[in-house]
Structure 1
Amino acid sequence: MATRAATFRSVLAVGEFRAIWLAELLSQAGDQLARVALSVLVFQRTNSAALTGLTFALTYLPTMLGGILLSGLGDRFPRRTVLVVSDVVRAALVALMAIPGTPLWLLCILLTAVVMANGPFKAAQLALLPDVLDEKRYVVGLAVRNVTVQSSQVAGFAGGGLLVSLLNPYLALGLDAVTFALSALIIRWGVRWRPAARSGKDPVRLSAFRLVWRDPRLRLIALISWLSLFYIAPESLAAPYAAELGLGALAVGLIMASHPVGSIIGAYAYTRYVSEENRQRTLGMMGILAGIPLLFSAFQPDLATSMILFGLTGAFSTAYTLQCAATATRLLPDAGRAQGIGLLATAALTAQGIGALLAGVLADLSAASAAIAMAGAAGVVTAIPLTYAWARRDHGHDRASTPQLPDTHRNTPTADR
């Protein structure tokens, strides 16, 4: 009865969550718009799929450094402060990128710094959610957040493709800077200040690896999240793939938007029609299903068919990503929650960056369509043993199917019993 009472409306009725939701909606839309602009800009200047993939990779890969080195800031300092400062820093850096004529090498340096600042922001944001939402609304809140992120990606990718095709790519970067500034203002005035989760007198230590490594479920979640290495291929190769089909910048945005459209549908359907127990059981299986649609890109289907296939990949990959996030956040203690979440999020984003780079290299050696198909095949093969391992873990540990919210009085994550 209590679970049914938790709806999208009841979650959005929480004022602090609305502020976080609106801020993320703005900044995510700006980010995707900027990704379209950078992909088109680099491909136009260099005509190289590898360099286009490298640029796209830079929108993910440096998060590894930011997530590992800076995510702990969300435990050592008030999380609202970390969110606001991160937004202000990113707004300033992206504003520099928006200056017309900026050399590509300088764009790459600035982009690397922007993405590094994303690490502590995401860690602090996700660590704050269990404080903002009660247990009944928490999982639904994650679903709302996921739908919001993917919806903003659709708007950013599709709108970005149209904007870049009509105007200047640097305008998209300027709009991205504005979204970061607005996000900082919304969080500053819409989220209540809370003290740091860990005392500033505590010794500084990188304990995220230990937090994750001690729990076999968290280790598996980290490995499953790395499947994004394979499933980022359609987005990272959107420009050369569209060129294979004889299409332009608008098609690039539509191809990039396919994955988030599928993600919106997948997040809603998975949380609405699949029980918590079955979501836990099918966690690994979703990773296998996500790779199958990509195999058909080898036949170079038309734009509409390609968008459907990439949308299916988005739906299935979002299903396992959402459940991974919910389970991991509940297993981590409050005092190390930001670091643990930062590490897991960093693993997923780093995988996407590596996958984007490898996909670009494969596309230069063969073709974008063939590279996407090979990425899908590799994802399916990798997901099979992970699915088996998760099934064994799920059947052997009843608590894995019904994880609890973190106990803020403990200093270690829930261990297997």
Structure 2
Amino acid sequence: MTDPITGPQHTRHDTALLRGIYLPRSMDAGGSAMTTYGIPLLVLATTNSTALTGLAFALEWIPRLAAFAVAGAMVDRYGAARIFRLASAARAVIVMAVALVLTGLGSSGPGTVITVMLLAASTGVLTEFSYIAAETTGGVASREAGEHAHRVQSVLLGIDQVATLAGPALAGLLLQWAGPTAMLLVVAAFSLLAGVLSLRQRAKESVSVSEPVLQGLRIGWSTLRSLPALVWLVTGLALSNLTSGLLQAAAPVIVVQQLGHSTADVGLIWSAAAVASLLAVAVCRRAIDRWGLWLVGALSATIAASACLAVSFTHTYRAYLVLIALLMAGEGGMTVVLRTLRSHLVPESVFGSTLGLTVLLLLVPFPVAGILVAAAPTALLGHVITGCAVLQALGLGLTFTRLRTLPGLSTRPA
């Protein structure tokens, strides 16, 4: 029998979550996914330069690393809702301004190059700020939901997954059929809607003074050093991220210039890869219960390394798409293993500091990958990918060989 009071209360609560949390998060996730995958495509379309495409990818990620710690401190000091609104509004203004500037400058010239590079750097910073603010707001909503917290988190995770699927494809299609201005205006519209909708947020945030960034990193480093299994797994995944980041940065050049396909086809690759990764995550969650962490992790590593080694030898778009999907599926499986191991081994009292450090270590390879693409001549890009793939295979092989003898991955989780 339905409680005549509780029922409407739950309905009002769900409606408030939809308006104040889910809709702003959806708009922000859509804009973030489009900028992450669309800006390297935009740079290639406007400059036709492999080096500048790789440099733009690096400029997207280097400021994110710098903003990672600052954004958290700003959210703690000023509140997630305020930072989310400011970051969304700033991104909308910057992207619209760039769209107008590119319309006036045309599709080439030094002014165009400088404009798109500044766009890459600024959106990288603002995306990190809005993401951390959105994660914090989601945490507040989860705590308010009490025993239904898992429902809130499942919806938020679903929003991010849908954005990862649709964002790259939408950016590629708009760039191909409507041009750079249209793509940027859609990104600006997503950002503007995120900022406007966030005005409805009623998050009851308690602003607290966080510990200094350097102190948190020191705590995380000392904890990580005391857990050899986690050290080896983070090292292996960092090497794997270098290769996957290299392929992500080089994808516009490989697909458009070498394989002769469109920007829309580049977006389709990463959407298909996201589907493969989601399927792998779903399968690995069950497989770990049955066969344990080590076997699932080793199998995922084998799939990822084999796909990367094969990429440099493929010369067709279809094979490239399949191999990238296999790579992301393998990395999805290893990510599940990492998160499971991290939750089992890291003490709760230092979990946040250790989490922050591991995320930072896993993100560092992405700007390095962009710099490699920028520095390598187009004719040698395949050799660079092969070299990184060999390094990845050796690193992952050594990692899981070592992990087999260490406590943590050798047994099934409870």
TM-score of the aligned structures, taking structure 1 as reference length: 0.76
Which of 155, 158, 163 is residue 169 of structure 2 equivalent to? 158
Residue 161 of structure 1 deviates from its aligned partner by 1.7
Matches within 5 A, 1:299-378: 299-325=313-339, 328=342, 331=346, 337=352, 341-362=355-376, 364-368=378-382, 370-378=383-391
Q: Which residue does 1:91 correspond to in 2?
A: 92
Matches within 5 A, 1:240-251: 240-242=253-255, 243-251=257-265
Count residues in correspondence: 385
Q: Which has more helix, going by share of residues?
A: 2
State how far apart, in whole Å, the 1-side matches of 2:330 and 2:153 are. 16
Tell me: CA distance 1:127–1:190, structure 2 relative to 1, closer, same or farther (3 Å).
closer
State how far apart, in whole Å, the 1-side matches of 2:136 and 2:113 are. 35
1:102-154 deviation digits (Å, cap 9, x = unpaired):
63213322431221233344344445555544798778876765554343233
Q: Which residue does 2:400 correspond to in 1?
A: 387
Residue 189 of structure 1 deviates from its aligned partner by 2.3
SS at match of 2:364: helix
Greater gyration radius: 2
State how far apart, in whole Å, the 1-side matches of 2:237 and 2:20 are. 27
Contact 1:67 1:345 in 2 (8 A): no
Contact 1:225 1:347 in 2 (8 A): no
Task: Identify the range of structure 1 (108-117 vs 387-396) with the bigger mean alpha-carbon deviation.
Answer: 387-396
State how far apart, in whole Å, the 2-side matches of 1:144 and 1:373 are. 39
Amino acid at match of 2:214: L
SS at match of 2:312: helix
State how far apart, in whole Å, the 1-side matches of 2:296 and 2:139 are. 24
Tell me: CA distance 1:13–1:388, structure 2 relative to 1, closer, same or farther (3 Å).
farther
State how far apart, in whole Å, the 1-side matches of 2:197 and 2:342 are. 27
Amino acid at match of 2:308: L
Q: Which residue does 1:210 correspond to in 2?
A: 218
Q: Which residue does 2:245 correspond to in 1?
A: 232
Q: Which residue does 1:46 correspond to in 2?
A: 47
State how far apart, in whole Å, the 1-side matches of 2:180 and 2:232 are. 40
Tell me: CA distance 1:252–1:204, structure 2 relative to 1, closer, same or farther (3 Å).
closer
Matches within 5 A, 1:101-112: 101=105, 103-112=112-121
Contact 2:223 2:354 in 1 (8 A): no
State how far apart, in whole Å, the 1-side matches of 2:158 and 2:386 are. 27
Tell me: CA distance 1:78–1:378, structure 2 relative to 1, closer, same or farther (3 Å).
same
Residue 351 of structure 1 deviates from its aligned partner by 1.7
Contact 1:143 1:271 in 2 (8 A): no
Residue 63 of structure 1 deviates from its aligned partner by 0.8
State how far apart, in whole Å, the 1-side matches of 2:374 and 2:48 are. 12
Tell me: CA distance 1:299–1:270, structure 2 relative to 1, closer, same or farther (3 Å).
same
Tell me: CA distance 1:352–1:396, structure 2 relative to 1, closer, same or farther (3 Å).
closer
State how far apart, in whole Å, the 2-side matches of 1:322 and 1:396 are. 12
Tell me: CA distance 1:133–1:31, structure 2 relative to 1, closer, same or farther (3 Å).
closer
Amino acid at match of 1:96: A
Which of 275, 300, 305 is residue 286 of structure 1 equivalent to? 300
Contact 1:237 1:360 in 2 (8 A): no
RMSD: 3.8
TM-score of the aligned structures, taking structure 2 as reference length: 0.77
State how far apart, in whole Å, the 1-side matches of 2:234 and 2:396 are. 13
Contact 2:293 2:409 in 1 (8 A): no
Residue 173 of structure 1 deviates from its aligned partner by 1.5
Residue 65 of structure 1 deviates from its aligned partner by 0.8
Unmatched tracts of structure 2, length 5 or more = 1-12, 106-110
Contact 2:60 2:121 in 1 (8 A): yes
Residue 77 of structure 1 deviates from its aligned partner by 4.2
Residue 15 of structure 1 deviates from its aligned partner by 6.3
State how far apart, in whole Å, the 1-side matches of 2:387 and 2:269 are. 18
Residue 361 of structure 1 deviates from its aligned partner by 3.4
